Amino acid sequence: MQIKETPKEYDAIIVGSGAGGGMSANILANAGMKVAVVEAGSFFDPKDPETMTQMKWPWESPRRGASTKRAFGDFDMSWGDWKVEGEPYTNKEGTDFRWWRARMLGGRTNHWGRISLRFGPKDFKHKDVDGLGENWPITYDEVKPYYDRLDKMIGVFGTNEGLANDPDGYFLPPPKPRLHDLYYIKGARKSGVPVIPARLSILTKRINKERGVCFYCGQCNRSCSAYADFSSGSCLIFPAQKSGQLDLYTDCMVKNITTNEEGLATGVSYIDKKDMGEYQLKARVVVLGASACSSARILLNSKSKQHPNGLGNSSDIVGRYLHDSTGSGLTAFVPALMDRKVYNEDGVGGMHVYSPWWGDNSKLNFPRGYHIEVWGGLGMPAYGFGFDTESINKYIGKQVGGYGDKLRDDVKRFYGSIVGLAGRGESIAHYDNRCELDENVVDRFGIPVLQFNYKWSDYERNQAKHMVDSFEEILTNMGGIVMGDKPGKDKDYGLLNPGQIIHEVGTTRMGNDPKKSVTNKYQQLHDAKNVFIVDAGPFTSQADKNCTWTIMALSMRASEYIVDQFKKQNI
């Protein structure tokens, strides 16, 4: 098959349209650069009625929203999950990493939890605190101006609390707590765990004339048709298109970066899903925002005489130090929340309050913290609603089982009485936790796939134990009764598989030493100065925060550096 070259030459090609790629496209196009965004998934606009799931009722799905076709249910706005048809990955024996991919414009930002937490000063220099992992080559103070601009540009609600490692920002006002939140606040405080308003990128108040304001349907994971939550397509790509500087290539799966004799990038080679032909695009700069693992895969598949080990991989670090957030959780039945008056408490899509990490790790048997997310309430029923509801009677000494009016009464009695706590914590990046090419397996585009090899250590297991112990105490303080067996040592204290929290970072980490890192502090490859990475790959370490807000602040910073270097003709 002949590879077709497109005559058009761009200033920059951006691979991927999620949080990192979307931000880069926005900055570069608005700075006057001619940009191509190449996205492996299909076009998606949250307000397109054909694909929209927001405000749909459960009966509109014949399976009532069950997860047969989408891992998080029919209405979740992610085209693709831990499995994508025709795009496998493999795991080294005895390991089980899960890799989520959303094949659509905007990627995972269409369904994400909108939890938008800045990393704190300690998070950039955590090796200084406990000697583990590696310090970032940048400080919080260097990133702060970008976080500040990001808050105003995209919008995030929250409150300034003056906490040392959970920095203040430019917040929109948060929504009031729900009923179960008030119980949680009481229960957590009793255990000395602080609770503050959540920080989510949802517009409770207008930030410009273009985007709408939240109308409290609680369905951000379905992607907001009013553009009142952050999705990369609606908030970054579409506005950037107005510059006239941006060409969008959807359904185009990038295979590799092409390079010249000097080892510099000349563009990308991609498969167009519409005709399965292979095409080449040319540009002076290539920006990878394909996601931490996809960008690593593209680099590893970009082998040449100048880069025999894959582009940017002279250090053999590409794909290494892969790390996800930890996760564990506990659920309780709270008798005081029985027989509730029913009212509309959909609120915003996600939690209204949360607990940032409060502990002192120097006195604990694990080095890094976690934050607590709270869920519960009078939610909209979907598949699974009512399962074993009558069995809750065992906690209040009433008859389990039954049918008829008794069952109807049980359903109403227990509606809204279940509260759950989930921990999301920081793991330590390890050299041996990695993804690499599996040369024996190709995807439907003929591209070698990734093989994962990722194991948790006792740091993460001890942290998960601390999570479930804390949750049990807080839930009990709330008058709750923990449901099911509290996971013990045999179950790693409920610690979920790596990849299940979908915060994977670190595969192309940044650093000052080209032998120990893939990019410099501007997310520019040490080995090829016109290639940048703007997803979570360059993260030197994860924090006890979600990664999206930092991906975007750093993408903004790296992209402005690109503009500067481009104008100076250094790249």
Partner 1 sequence: MDRRETIKSLLVGSVLGGVALTAQSCRTDEVAPIVEALQKPKYGRTPSEQLHDQKIQDAPSFFSAAELNTIAILCDIILPSSGEFGSAVDAEVPAFIEFIVKDLPMHQLPIQGGLMWLNGECNKRFQLPFAEANKTQQLEIIDQIAYPDPEKNTPQLEPGRTFFTRMRNLTLTGYYTSQIGIKALGYVGNRPNMWDGVPQDVLDKHGLAYEKEWLDKCINHETRDQVAEWDENGNLLNN
Residues numbered 155 to 184 that lie near partner 1 (CB under 8 A) are 155, 157, 159-160, 168-179, 182-183
Site for partner 1 in 110-149 (CB under 8 A): 148
With a CB cutoff of 8 Å and minimum separation 6, the contacts of 121 are 139, 140, 141, 164, 165, 167
- Contact between 68 and partner 1 per CB under 8 A: yes
Tell me phi and psi for residue 550, to 5 degrees: -75, -35
- Contact between 152 and partner 1 per CB under 8 A: yes
The residue to which tokens 């095409």 are assigned:
279
Distance CA 504, CA 324 (A): 4
The nearest distance, CB 401 to partner 1, in angstroms, is: 3
- Contact between 390 and partner 1 per CB under 8 A: yes
Write the binding mask 351 to 380 for partner 1: x where contact by CB under 8 A, - elsewhere.
---------------------------xxx
Number of residues that bind partner 1 (CB under 8 A): 105
Looking at beta carbons only, is 209 or 568 nearer to partner 1? 209
- Contact between 4 and partner 1 per CB under 8 A: no
* Segment near partner 1 (CB under 8 A); pick from 137-145, 393-401, 522-530, 563-571: 393-401
The nearest distance, CB 276 to partner 1, in angstroms, is: 6
Strand ranges, E, within 377-505:
418-425, 434-442, 448-453, 481-482
Looking at beta carbons only, is 212 or 263 nearer to partner 1? 212
With a CB cutoff of 8 Å and minimum separation 6, the contacts of 321 are 429, 430, 431, 433, 434, 506, 507, 509
- Contact between 412 and partner 1 per CB under 8 A: yes
**Nearest residue to 24 (alpha-carbon basis) of 566, 407, 503, 569:** 566
Q: Which one among 3, 8, 42, 365 touches partner 1, defined by CB under 8 A?
A: 42
Pairing of the two strands 434-442 and 265-272? unpaired
Beta bridge partners of 326: 425
- Contact between 386 and partner 1 per CB under 8 A: yes
Looking at beta carbons only, is 405 or 485 nearer to partner 1? 405
Q: Which two tokens stand for residue 528?
A: 């090829």
Q: Which two tokens stand for residue 6?
A: 């497109």
CB atoms within 10 A of CB 194: 16
**Would you give the distance in Å from CA 201 to the centre of its chain?**
13
Tell me phi and psi for residue 67, to 5 degrees: -90, 25
- Contact between 345 and partner 1 per CB under 8 A: yes
Looking at beta carbons only, is 300 or 447 nearer to partner 1? 447
Distance CA 51, CA 77 (A): 9
Tell me phi and psi for residue 262, to 5 degrees: -80, 0
The nearest distance, CB 366 to partner 1, in angstroms, is: 31
For 528-546, letters b (16+ CB in 10 Å) and e give: bbbbbbbbbbbbbbbbbbb
- Contact between 61 and partner 1 per CB under 8 A: yes
Distance CA 12, CA 285 (A): 5
The nearest distance, CB 252 to partner 1, in angstroms, is: 10
Site for partner 1 in 492-521 (CB under 8 A): none
The nearest distance, CB 390 to partner 1, in angstroms, is: 7
Q: Which one among 9, 64, 144, 560 touches partner 1, defined by CB under 8 A?
A: 64
Looking at beta carbons only, is 7 or 62 nearer to partner 1? 62
Looking at beta carbons only, is 307 or 340 nearer to partner 1? 340
Q: Which one among 107, 233, 327, 347 touches partner 1, defined by CB under 8 A?
A: 347
Distance CA 503, CA 548 (A): 8
Beta bridge partners of 482: 332
**Nearest residue to 298 (alpha-carbon basis) of 122, 566, 40:** 40
Looking at beta carbons only, is 215 or 431 nearer to partner 1? 215
Angle 554-557-559 from CA coordinates, rounded to 5°: 105
Looking at beta carbons only, is 138 or 182 nearer to partner 1? 182
* Segment near partner 1 (CB under 8 A); pick from 27-35, 405-413, 521-529, 541-549: 405-413
**Nearest residue to 166 (alpha-carbon basis) of 415, 25, 370, 409:** 370
Site for partner 1 in 188-227 (CB under 8 A): 197, 204-209, 213, 215-219
| CA atoms within 13 A of residue 398's CA, in its CB half-sphere | 15
Looking at beta carbons only, is 155 or 289 nearer to partner 1? 155
Pairing of the two strands 434-442 and 246-249? unpaired
- Contact between 565 and partner 1 per CB under 8 A: no
**Would you give the distance in Å from CA 490 to the centre of its chain?**
29
- Contact between 445 and partner 1 per CB under 8 A: no
Q: Which one among 2, 262, 305, 341 touches partner 1, defined by CB under 8 A?
A: 341
Site for partner 1 in 240-279 (CB under 8 A): 248, 250-251, 273-276
Distance CA 380, CA 384 (A): 11
- Contact between 60 and partner 1 per CB under 8 A: yes
- Contact between 568 and partner 1 per CB under 8 A: no
Element (H, E) at 7: strand 4-15
Looking at beta carbons only, is 317 or 449 nearer to partner 1? 449
- Contact between 85 and partner 1 per CB under 8 A: yes
The nearest distance, CB 231 to partner 1, in angstroms, is: 15
**Nearest residue to 28 (alpha-carbon basis) of 279, 239, 276:** 239
Q: Using an 8 Å Cβ cutoff, are 188 and 478 in contact?
A: no
The nearest distance, CB 77 to partner 1, in angstroms, is: 8
Site for partner 1 in 289-328 (CB under 8 A): none
Site for partner 1 in 450-479 (CB under 8 A): none
